[in-house]
Amino acid sequence: MPSRLTMVSGIQQLLTGERADPRAAQALFLVPLVVEFFLHLLPPESFDTDFAYGTAVALVPTLGAVAIARGLLASRWTTWLPVLDIVALGLYRMSDGTAIGVAVAFPAIWLGLQFGRRGVLVTTLTVLVCFVVPTLAKFGFTTAAFSRVAQITLMALICSAAVAMTAEMWKSQVELTRKNAARLEHALTDLIEQRRLTRTIVNGVDVGLVAIDEHGVYDTVNPRHREFMRLAYPQGHAGHAGQAGFVYDEDGVTLLASEQMPTTRAVGGEAFRDVLIWVGEEPSERRALAVSSTPYRRNDGEFAGAVLAYHDITELVQVSRVKDEFVASVSHELRTPLTSIIGYVDIILEDCEDLPADVRGYLVTVQRNARRLHRLVDDLLSTALHSVTKVLDIDRVSVSELLQRSALEAGKAATNAGLTLELDTSQQREELFVHGDSERLAQVFDNLLSNAIKYTPRGGHIVAALTQQDGQAVVCVQDTGRGISPAELGEVFTKFFRSSSVLTDAIPGIGLGLAITKTIVDAHGGEISVSSELGQGTTFEVRLPLPDPRSVPAA
């Protein structure tokens, strides 16, 4: 008799359609047979010839199962084992006083399990030959005989068919499971490869990357960021957000507190870009980092952590400083002769009363432009692009008058450049006043008109218009010039920015005019915007808030 594990393994092989060990199925068949055998020996006189033949036939598939399992017979003989079992049961059924025929369910199940629909057909034919025909031949075509064989036949057919259908369903599920397992394995392989590729990219990029969870614990840190951490935390890092170290503000001097750290802000769910910090204990080894943070969330929308990117921009900051130092040096050298020019022009205008009118007009123009140039040099020298609000001389200023003066002065340059310049104040019947610095606002209008003239080809047209909208004085300067590409439109107010077409055509300029203009407008609480189309022209719009009519005008 096979062991219990061997029997279970054999049944599993039958269910999965594999080459099964027939000893398991044959052992199940022998259980009721052995019981019936011993019952039939008591009393001994019940042991008849048919029972003996049946027992002899039952020994054949039993020995065959052992021989197939040991490799003494080919596995193709397995089909005959349950058939011979049914033959043995048919002989037993012919014996008087035995009910062993119900055991036909075992070989019927075996045939259905292992051979499917073919097994059902074999079961049906074998039962008909071994049960129905002999029984009817022995007992005649009576109702009792038909009833006797009908039960056995139906039971065998139902058992075999039911098990065959179950086995087919089982096999289809097993096949589906295998396919799903193959897909899962393939997906897992792809995931592993993708993770390996991602790890390679993360470890290879020249950007410090760190992922933190919702509690601020460091989850992933790439090698580049570890270099930055060694500078900021030479004594080691605890692996959580907000740890104090040699981390400085953008000035490179002020140490950042824990709540000011980019990681602390990131844990709070804040998203930011290009926050400048410095890391490193020694000033000579200190690095400038532009930090960006992107939070990520779970499927339910809850904050799950953030990924921070640290870009080393030390060289860019140093280049910017060198550029600022160069501009400051040049501006300082220009400031002295300009001061001298302005001083001597002032002396001539004040002390020489008998100057011809045209000469005095020329000197006044020199004086005005020299003073404007002096202000521009002061802007360059003091890097005043972020501190204009501290030097504004606020007064009640007529926007109409300032724009008219700037247009009158720019008209001469426009005529010399072959352009027409039009001042349109027809939509504004009364003079508009704002609280502001007249010289600075004049600088705004001068810059816009100067740019329009500089970038408009000969034969073009420029319009400067003044209107009042929503409690604001609106100044528009529109030209029919070369225009600005959409890709560069967002950079026009950036310090030292010049478009590629301007650089190609070698049009003079340093890219400070519009940056200064925007800073002055912002300092007055106003807004400046630009719209443009390549080859069609550009429009700048300046909006300055008008004072509340109920307020008392400034003296």
* Mean pLDDT, residues 78-105 taken together: 74
Mean per-residue pLDDT, 47-74: 76
Please say whether the beta carbons of 208 and 289 come within 8 A: yes
Sorted by sequence, the CB contacts under 8 Å of residue 500 that are 6+ apart come out as 488
Beta-sheet pairing, 461-469 with 420-424: parallel
Integer Cα distance of 503 and 487 in angstroms = 16
Domain pair 208-312 / 389-545, same fold = no
Tell me the C-alpha distance between 451 and 414, whole Å.
Answer: 11
Report the pLDDT value the prediction gives residue 144, as an integer from 0 to 100.
Answer: 67
State the pLDDT at residue 346: 83
**Averaged pLDDT, 72-89:** 79
Mean of the per-residue pLDDT values of the chain = 80
- At residue 480, φ and ψ (nearest 5 deg) are -110, 40
Percent pLDDT > 90 in the chain is: 15
Q: What integer pLDDT is reported at residue 523 of this predicted model?
A: 85
Instruction: Return the structure tokens found at 108.
Output: 């019927």
Tokens of 532: 């443009």
Distance CA 516, CA 109 (A): 94
pLDDT in tens, 477-531: 999 988 888 888 888 888 777 676 665 555 556 667 788 788 889 888 899 999 9
The pLDDT of residue 554: 43
Predicted pLDDT at 390: 53
Does residue 383 carry a pLDDT above 60? no
Q: State the pLDDT at residue 552.
A: 45
Q: Is 116 left (phi over 0), alpha (psi -120 to 50) or beta?
A: left
For residue 77, pLDDT beyond 90? no
Q: How confident is the model at residue 536 (pLDDT cuts 50, 70, 90)?
A: confident
pLDDT at 553: 46
pLDDT band at 555 (very low <50, low <70, confident <90, very high): very low
pLDDT band at 4 (very low <50, low <70, confident <90, very high): low
Apex CA 334: angle with CA 332 and CA 337, to 5°? 120
State the Cα–Cα distance between residues 419 and 453, nearest whole angstrom.
Answer: 8
Residue-wise pLDDT tens digits, 391-433:
577 889 999 899 998 888 888 888 888 999 998 877 766 788 8
CB 447 within 8 A of CB 477: no
Report percent pLDDT > 70 for the chain. 81
pTM higher than 0.75: no
Average pLDDT over residues 345-354: 81
Residue 385 amino acid letter: L
Tell me the pLDDT tens digit for each residue of 236-261.
Answer: 888 888 888 899 998 888 899 988 99
Top-level class of domain 389-545: alpha beta
For residues 32-50, one letter each, b for 16 or more C-beta atoms within 10 angstroms of the residue's C-beta and e for the rest, the string is: bbeebbeebeeeeeeeeeb
Q: Give the pLDDT score at 290.
A: 93
* Residue 265: alpha-carbon gap to chain centroid: 21
Q: Which two tokens stand for residue 499?
A: 């478009």
Please count the CA atoms within 13 angstroms of the CA of 528 that sit on its side-chain side: 22
Q: How far apart are CA 461 and CA 414, in angstroms?
A: 9
**For the chain, domain boundaries:** 4-178, 208-312, 318-382, 389-545
User: Which SS3 state, helix, strand or coil, does residue 493 take?
Assistant: coil
Residue 336: pLDDT band with limits 50, 70, 90: low
Highest mean pLDDT among 68-72, 99-103, 474-478: 474-478
| Mean per-residue pLDDT, 357-384 | 76
**In this predicted structure, what is the pLDDT of residue 55?**
74
Report the pLDDT value the prediction gives residue 385, as an integer from 0 to 100. 45
Cα–Cα nearest to 360, from 380, 372, 346: 346
Select the more confidently predicted residue: 146 or 550: 146
End-to-end CA distance of the chain: 119
Say whether pLDDT at 551 is over 80.
Answer: no
Identify which has the larger pLDDT, 555 or 315.
315
Which of 29-38, 308-317, 318-327, 358-367 ranks highest by mean pLDDT? 308-317
- Mean of pLDDT values over 454-476: 90
Spatial separation of the C-alpha atoms in residues 538 and 543, rounded to whole Å: 17
Question: What pLDDT score was predicted for residue 344?
Answer: 82
Residue 445 has pLDDT above 80, yes or no: yes
Asked whether the beta carbons of 328 and 380 are under 8 A apart, the reply is: yes
**Hey, what are 541's tokens?**
């719009």
Top CATH class, 208-312: alpha beta
* Radius of gyration of the chain from its Cα atoms, rounded to whole angstroms: 50
